[in-house]
Chain A
Amino acid sequence: AQTVTQSQPEMSVQEAETVTLSCTYDTSESDYYLFWYKQPPSRQMILVIRQEAYKQQNATENRFSVNFQKAAKSFSLKISDSQLGDAAMYFCAYRVSGTYKYIFGTGTRLKVLA
């Protein structure tokens, strides 16, 4: 079965510091996509970053970057220079290429301390 595991229900980071959120997934597929979504208190789901499994290079979007380890089936999110506005639930998601089905993890709540 395809599963996505976020083992950290809650994380805290000091403002301006760096934090890494973990995500592991289980799949037998070779062609797939990985995503991180942010859900602030407003509840809107916002795409943060995405990665194609066949690309070795880690994706980067401004202060957000990923550490994609395909063999280990790991897809962690690093947030640099954390800001108060980064406080939110973060969801890792996985999708097999050519399908419409996304598998979401249960989320990590990130608190940013001033």
Chain B
Amino acid sequence: NAGVTQTPKFQVLKTGQSMTLQCAQDMNHNSMYWYRQDPGMGLRLIYYSASEGTTDKGEVPNGYNVSRLNKREFSLRLESAAPSQTSVYFCASSEGTGGFGNTIYFGEGSWLTVV
């Protein structure tokens, strides 16, 4: 059971370049999320998708775009990468049906460095 799979796991970008982080889940979850993790700041929500066809901004959406391609896949795009976007990015998913159905399960993370 793969759970939540993210690609790539490591990426180095130059300032101004664009890239897309891919995420797929095989748990038939309705909701998907993108978080970033920075030292001393815990995890912060970038965007989430409550269900297929919907996306909403989280705490730190600036500089990012997302696409919920289908129920399984949720991608995060950096249009013009900046050094401030150097971080570890986590994709996550949850059933989204309330109660503990909203317990989120995480992918392994993607390390992104912008130079």
Do A and B belong to a common assembly?
yes
Q: Assess whether A100 is in contact with B33, with CB atoms less than 8 Å apart.
A: yes
Q: Which residues of B contact A44 (CB under 8 A)?
A: 106-109
Q: Which residues of A contact B103 (CB under 8 A)?
A: 33, 35, 47, 50
| Shortest distance from the beta carbon of A5 to any chain B beta carbon, whole Å | 10
Q: Which residues of B contact A101 (CB under 8 A)?
A: 45, 58
Q: Which residues of A contact B100 (CB under 8 A)?
A: 33, 50, 52
Given known contacts A42-B108, A43-B109, A100 and B102 CB-to-CB distance under 8 angstroms: yes
Q: Assess whether B48 is in contact with A100, with CB atoms less than 8 Å apart.
A: yes
Closest partner residue, chain A, to B109 (CB atom): A43
| Shortest distance from the beta carbon of B63 to any chain A beta carbon, whole Å | 20
| Shortest distance from the beta carbon of B51 to any chain A beta carbon, whole Å | 10
Closest partner residue, chain B, to A43 (CB atom): B109
Determine if B31 is an interface residue (Cβ-Cβ < 8 Å): yes
| Distance of A100 Cα from B107 Cα, bound (Å) | 17
Q: Which residues of B contact A91 (CB under 8 A)?
A: 42-43
| Shortest distance from the beta carbon of A24 to any chain B beta carbon, whole Å | 14
From 49 to 71 in chain A, residues with beta carbon under 8 angstroms from any chain B beta carbon are 50, 52
From 15 to 37 in chain B, residues with beta carbon under 8 angstroms from any chain A beta carbon are 31, 33
Q: How many residues of A contact B (CB 8 A)?
A: 23
Q: Assess whether A100 is in contact with B41, with CB atoms less than 8 Å apart.
A: no
| Shortest distance from the beta carbon of A38 to any chain B beta carbon, whole Å | 11
What does the 1/0 interface line of A65-83 toward B look like (CB < 8 Å)? 0000000000000000000
Given known contacts A100-B31, A100-B33, A100-B48, A33 and B102 CB-to-CB distance under 8 angstroms: yes
Q: Assess whether A45 is in contact with B106, with CB atoms less than 8 Å apart.
A: yes
Given known contacts A43-B88, A97-B99, A104 and B58 CB-to-CB distance under 8 angstroms: no
- B residues in contact (CB < 8 Å) with A: 31, 33, 40-45, 48, 50, 56, 58, 88, 90, 92, 94, 96, 98-100, 102-109
Q: What are some 13 contacts across the A-B interface (CB < 8 A)? A: A4-B42, A37-B106, A43-B88, A43-B109, A44-B106, A45-B109, A52-B99, A91-B42, A100-B48, A100-B50, A100-B96, A102-B43, A104-B43
